[in-house]
Amino acid sequence: MKFSLASKTAVVTGGGSGIGKAIARALAEQGALVHVLDINPDHSTRTVDEIKEAGGNAVAHTCNVSLQDNVRKVMASLMQHSNIDILINNAGIGHIGNVESTEEADMDHLYEVNIKGVYNCIQAAIPSMKENGGVILNMASVAGTVGISDRFAYAMTKGAVLTMTYSVAKDYLDHGIRCNSISPGRVHTPFVDSYLEKNYPDNKDEMFEKLAKTQPIGRMGRPEEIADLAVYLCSDEASFITGTDFPIDGGFIKLNG
């Protein structure tokens, strides 16, 4: 079977909802044992329950990726049973604002989760991967490549994710570790719904359509579409690909403007 992940062990951070949940489910469908890490234990448990109901194999873990000791303990516990073959660094937070409206606390929090969280997880997983090779897939964003209004701090973190991707890919070529990133455009996730509910409670549908049309293709992406790309990049069929960012954005980067 093409894109089979049978006998592979995967770790998905932020796997309790949205894109992370879709990736966790897709990896499990292809035969991987998926460790679902999320700061919200109810969310990670729900994802695992859904995977098991569909016939897959998964384990839930509560983990705050911004805390190095927490990450190391979780990784060490699961590595007692198997090596890590696939690491998906998906956990992240958003922020809206330009440089003037971004407070120091906002900047620090975004750094802790979106940058340090990726670093913490890669550093914890690398020793296992150095033994048998592996795949690291980081979730970046179109905001890390092109300018987007009112995304100053968020874009900064996603630019860092891109350069971490390139650095890790270069440093671990000789260990058989591939490292790539995915840069989604606007994807319809619970984050979008909560944003509209909070800021546009009286005209959610109108604003949803407006946001959707910022993608040249005319709609938002679906989490499952991001997950399908992740499955390919984690599979042996993608064994010639490393050190590359993959936009999946409905034409946003190349066709806007």
Q: Which long-range contacts (CB under 8 A, 24 or more apart) does 93-97 make?
A: 94/154, 94/191, 95/151, 95/153, 95/154, 96/150, 96/151, 96/154, 97/150, 97/151, 97/152, 97/153
User: What is the DSSP-derived secondary structure letter of residue 1?
Assistant: -
User: What pLDDT is attached to residue 117?
Assistant: 98
The percent of residues above 70 in pLDDT, for the chain, comes to 100
1 within domain boundaries: no
User: What pLDDT is attached to residue 194?
Assistant: 86
User: Given a cut of 90, is residue 199 above it in pLDDT?
Assistant: no
| Predicted model pTM | 0.96
User: Given a cut of 70, is residue 257 above it in pLDDT?
Assistant: no
92 within domain boundaries: yes
209 within domain boundaries: no
Return the amino acid letter for 122.
I
Which one is catalytic: 119, 154, 195, 232? 154
pLDDT tens column, 123-137: 999 999 998 999 999
User: What is the DSSP-derived secondary structure letter of residue 139?
Assistant: E
User: What is the DSSP-derived secondary structure letter of residue 238?
Assistant: G
For residue 95, give Cα distances in angstroms to 61, 109, 256.
Answer: 26, 10, 22
Read out DSSP for 176-209? TEEEEEEEE-SB--HHHHHHHHHH-TTSHHHHHH
- CATH number of the domain encompassing residue 100: 3.40.50.720
**Is the CB of residue 47 less than 8 Å from the CB of residue 16?**
yes
How many distinct structural domains can be found in the chain?
A: 1
158 within domain boundaries: yes
Mean pLDDT of the residues in the chain = 96
Does 119 participate in catalysis according to the annotation?
A: no
Cα–Cα distance for residue pair 138/65, rounded to 1 Å:
13
133 within domain boundaries: yes
pLDDT tens column, 52-98: 999 999 999 999 999 999 999 999 999 999 999 999 999 999 999 99
Give the number of residues written for the chain.
Answer: 257
- Domain residues for 233? 9-186+222-255
66 within domain boundaries: yes
User: What pLDDT is attached to residue 9?
Assistant: 98
Return the amino acid letter for 161.
V
Per-residue pLDDT averaged across 205-217, rounded?
92
Structure tokens that stand for 36 in this block = 């679902």
Residues 6 or more apart from 114 whose CB is under 8 A from it? 92, 93, 154, 157, 158, 160, 161
pLDDT tens column, 112-161: 999 999 999 999 999 999 989 999 999 999 999 999 999 999 999 999 99
Strand partners, 138: 89, 181
Structure tokens that stand for 147 in this block = 């300018």
Residues 6 or more apart from 210 whose CB is under 8 A from it? none
Per-residue pLDDT averaged across 231-244, rounded?
98
User: What pLDDT is attached to residue 141?
Assistant: 97
212 within domain boundaries: no
User: Given a cut of 90, is residue 190 above it in pLDDT?
Assistant: no
